Structure 1
Amino acid sequence: MCGTEYRTELPLASAATGCACCSTEASTPAAAADASGNEFAVEGLTCGHCVQTVQKAVSALAGVEFASVDLVPGGRSRLTVGGNADSSAVREAVTSAGYTLISN
C-alpha cells in the first residue's frame, strides 16, 4: 500500500485541561494506592512522558518498592516513593533525569 498514510487523529484538549498527554489526572499504580511512602515535591514535569521518566529513574533505585507521580503540569508535582530508598539517592535519580527535587 505505497503512498497511503495512516494517521491516528487524537482529540484536541481545551486550554483549561492541557494537551492529551498533560492531563491533570495522573494514574497511580495499585501498589501506591495500597501503601504509604515518602513524599517529595518535583518541579519541571509537564506531561505523561515526564512522569514516566521520573518513575522509571526512581524505581531503578535499590530498596524502592514503587514510585508514583501525581502530575501538576507547570507546578510542583508529588512523587511518592515506597520502600526504604535513601533520600539523597532519590534526589540524584530525579536530578539525573532532568528535573528538580524541591523537598522530601
Structure 2
Amino acid sequence: MCGTEIRTELPLAATELSGCSCCTPGARTQTPTPVEGSEYWVEGLTCGHCVQTVEKAVNAVAGVESATVDLAAGAKSRLTVTGEVAATAVRNAVTGAGYSLAANN
C-alpha cells in the first residue's frame, strides 16, 4: 500500500516444541486472556492454527458466547467456553475439528 507496511505486534509466548505441518519449530503463539466459563482440556494442539481451528468450531455451536484456547503445545491446552451449551456439544465440536478432549472432561 503505497510503499507503507503496517504491522501489528502482539505479545507472544515461546514454545520449545516443534509445531505442526503449518508451523516451523520454535513457533510462537499469542496467549489469550482467560474468561469466566466452563473449562475443558484439549489434546493435540501444537500451534496458533490449531487454536483457531478449535475456537472457530466451538464458537459455531449454538449457545456459545465465546470460546478461547490457552495453548500449551505438547500438553493439554485449556479451552474456556462461555454461554449456555452442553458439554457433549463442545466435545462434538472439538472432535469434529480433529482434536480430542482429555479424559477428565
Q: Match for residue 10 of structure 2? A: none
Aligned pairs for 1:4-83 within 5 A: 16=16, 19-21=26-28, 23=29, 25-28=30-33, 33=35, 36-83=36-83
What is the alpha-carbon root mean square deviation over aligned residues?
A: 2.1
- Percent identical across equivalent pairs? 56
Runs of 4+ in 1 over 6 A off after TM superposition: none
Matched, 1:99 2:104: no
Q: Any gaps of 5 or more consecutive residues in structure 1?
A: 1-13
CA–CA distance in structure 2, aligned partners of residues 42 and 78 of structure 1: 6
User: Which has more radius of gyration?
Assistant: 1
Residue type matched to 1:19 in 2?
A: G
Gaps of at least 5 residues in structure 2 are: 1-13, 18-24
Query: Residues 16 and 45 (structure 1 numbering): CA distance in 2 closer, same or farther, change over 3 Å?
Result: closer
Where relative contact order (Cα < 8 A, 6+ residues apart) is larger, the structure is: 1
- Separation in 2, partners of 1:15, 1:67: 22
TM-score by length of 2: 0.71
SS in 1 for 2:53: helix
Distance 2:15 2:45 in 1: 18
